[in-house]
Amino acid sequence: MSEKPSVLFVCVHNAGRSQMAAAWLNHLAGDRVEVRSAGSAPADAVNPAVVEAMYEVGIDITAETPKVLTVDAVQASDVCVTMGCGDACPVFPGKRYLDWKLADPAGQGVEAVRPIRDEIKARIETLLNEIAPETPEAGK
């Protein structure tokens, strides 16, 4: 892994789970990790219930848009986390792959999205501790 690890989150539409995961990692890691998200068949917009659920915890993803999964995005990432995209994600040697089994928020209201959001946060916290743990600065 490079000095600054990079993570790619992939789901089918890049409108729900992968958007929440990317937002959580950006929020919790700051500039310690490079974050990308993409979909194998991107939707036209991020799921409004997902936007609302993230806004409830102080994370604004209204400016995010679903992005198409590219080979370059996978190659540029140290860790690739898939969330229900099956075999759509290309596999390259030397990358770490994780497949997170999560409920799909598509077509769900914000009440159904909240537990998915919270589960993703817990997984992000674990991943962050593995790839870019906070280290106390010398002399503090």
80 is catalytic: no
Please report, rounded to a whole number, the percentage of residues in the chain having pLDDT higher than 90: 81
Does residue 128 contact residue 29 with C-beta atoms inside 8 Å? yes
Instruction: For residue range 39-74, list pLDDT tens digits in order.
Output: 989 999 999 999 999 999 999 999 999 999 999 999
What pLDDT score does 139 carry?
A: 41
Q: Please state, in angstroms and as integers, the Cα–Cα distance from residue 16 to each residue in 3, 100, 107, 136, following that order.
A: 29, 13, 10, 34
For range 99-107, the mean pLDDT: 94
Which of 10, 35, 49, 85 does the annotation list as catalytic? 85
Which of 8, 89, 124, 127 does the annotation list as catalytic? 89
For range 86-94, the mean pLDDT: 73
pLDDT confidence tier of residue 138, bands split at 50, 70 and 90? very low
Does residue 83 contact residue 103 with C-beta atoms inside 8 Å? no
What pLDDT score does 129 carry?
A: 96
Which of 7, 8, 10, 11 does the annotation list as catalytic? 11
pLDDT confidence tier of residue 137, bands split at 50, 70 and 90? low
The model carries a pTM of: 0.92
Q: Does pLDDT of 133 surpass 70? A: yes
